[in-house]
Amino acid sequence: MSAAGPLVLFAGGGTGGHLYPGLAIARALVREAPGVRPFFIGAQRGIERDVLPTTEFPHQLLPLHPLYRKQPWNNWRTVLGGVQAWRALTQLTRNDRPAAVVGTGGYAAGVALAWARARGIPTFLHEPDSHPGLTTRVFARGAQGVFLGFPEASAQLTAAAPGAVYPLGCPIDEPPANHEARALARAAARAEWGLPDEAFVVLVMGGSQGARAINEVVDQWIARGLPRGVALIWSTGRAQAAAYLHRESEAVKVRPYLAPIAQAYAAADVALGRAGAMSIAELCAWGLPMLLVPLPTAAQDHQTFNARATAAAGAGVMLRQSDLSVDALSAQIALWQQDTTLLARMRESAQARARPTAARDIARTLRRLLQLAG
């Protein structure tokens, strides 16, 4: 690496929930401190393998592996990959000492954070979930800054210095800032989707892979007959789309994936989906009440914690996958349709949780703590 402005390493990935916040923070940091040079460290086997080559940032993919909790005999891969990654980081920065390492979670972050600690390099963490992951819990002590997507996570980070915890939210694309702009966006989005303005629009989303359990119930719901006035924008996931494309109609818009997703958020009244941190952050920013069905197999059951926190704040309703049915779904949508006061209150609660400027706020905090020139 050639020496220029300060180098900041971003380490994280494995899933989009750990990679995309890092990208958003890095872009905001470049806007705040144009001389800074973000560099991404990721795993060869994570989502970053496909995403990072499409970005503007230099990067290096390393032979990192997660902890194999259910197959401990495979942890030799984790150890060997960690040693190789440590050596690669040392070689990468031999003549270019980083100003900081920002870990955004997942197994791709742990080695880089440990490597930085061993060299006295400042470390920062971003934790998107309400239940902090292993990497965050291990490295919170001694971090110069721990940025939280859910304020509830701070109760589980007692090792972190109180002044180093910043509940600034999850970095997302900002929606329109005021009611008038949102009303215009809503009308334009519904026109683009071909949906009537008076429809009660439910956005169904299960992430890039979709959510089979949710898709099956929604399919049964459509087969039974949607309630009068209800319309769907249904993101099935690419792998499952073929099974549901025949459900497309004037009231049902079926898409394998929504990218960009802003037009769907703008058109919707409520949402049904999993309880990933980034999705919840975006739904709160758009003021959409949500019916959250946590993924039962999520690591450390973090989606259940996310859903509970969101429900406790009055912004959503949690429904376990084992309780998800056409009757349960119909009952919740009917309640929202009929009780406009409840719906308005939940919208306000969602917006109260929103942190639409999270990327900018985190970047400004990083700039201040690292004393980076603007």
Is residue 42 domain-shared with residue 122, that is, in the same domain? yes
Number of domains in the chain: 2
Alpha helices (runs of H) in 52-98, residue ranges in sequence order: 75-92
Whole-structure pTM over 0.95, yes or no? no
> How confident is the prediction for the chain on average, in pLDDT?
91
What Å distances lie between residue 127 and 4, 223, 287, CA to CA? 30, 40, 22
pLDDT at 350: 97
Is residue 143 domain-shared with residue 198, that is, in the same domain? no
Is residue 193 domain-shared with residue 117, that is, in the same domain? no
Tell how strand 7-11 and strand 59-62 pair up. unpaired
CA atoms within 13 A on the CB side of 362: 33
Is residue 322 domain-shared with residue 366, that is, in the same domain? no
pLDDT at 82: 75
pLDDT at 3: 53
Q: Is residue 2 part of a domain?
A: no
Q: Is residue 79 part of a domain?
A: yes
Is residue 70 domain-shared with residue 159, that is, in the same domain? yes
pLDDT at 55: 93
Is residue 205 domain-shared with residue 337, that is, in the same domain? yes
**Bridge partners, 271 (sequence order):** 203, 290
Q: Is residue 240 part of a domain?
A: yes
pLDDT at 204: 97
Task: Collect the ranges in the chain with pLDDT lower than 70.
Answer: 1-3, 68, 208-210
Is residue 346 domain-shared with residue 363, that is, in the same domain? no
Q: Is residue 268 part of a domain?
A: yes
pLDDT at 208: 62
pLDDT at 52: 92
CATH number at residue 197: 3.40.50.2000
Quick: pLDDT tens for 88-138.
Answer: 899 999 999 999 999 998 788 999 999 999 999 999 999 999 999 888 999
DSSP type of residue 324: -
**What domain range includes position 283?**
179-353
Is residue 155 domain-shared with residue 243, that is, in the same domain? no
